[in-house]
Amino acid sequence: MLRLYSLNLNLNPMQLVCPECKNKVNLAIYPNLAKDQVIECDICGISLLVSSISGDKVEAEVVDEGK
Ligand SMILES: [Zn+2]
């Protein structure tokens, strides 16, 4: 198991793993991230609805755009 760490001390400490592509979503561009906010995975581009924020742990679910 490869573990990667990055120095991002000045960035948003909250972390979200994309449920679709399993990559870490860049939350630094959402400084006021809130529950029920729709964000976009910068890796796979899917829309995600923030379902819970607990400390620095963020959970989100894939938004079904119904197309
Ligand atoms: Zn993704």
- Ligand 1 centroid – CA 10 distance (Å): 23
- Ligand 1 centroid – CA 61 distance (Å): 11
CATH value of 16-62 in 3.90.580, 2.120.10, 1.10.3210, 2.20.28: 2.20.28
- Ligand 1 centroid – CA 53 distance (Å): 18
pLDDT digits (tens, 9 = 90+) for 4-59: 555 544 556 788 999 999 999 989 889 899 999 999 999 999 999 999 999 888 99
Number of C-beta neighbours around residue 47 at 10 A: 14
Nearest to 61 by CA among 34, 53, 47: 47
User: Is the pLDDT at 1 greater than 70, yes or no?
Assistant: no
- Ligand 1 centroid – CA 9 distance (Å): 23
* pLDDT at position 59: 95
Where are the domains positioned within the chain? 16-62
- Ligand 1 centroid – CA 20 distance (Å): 5
Q: How far apart are CA 28 and CA 32, in angstroms?
A: 9
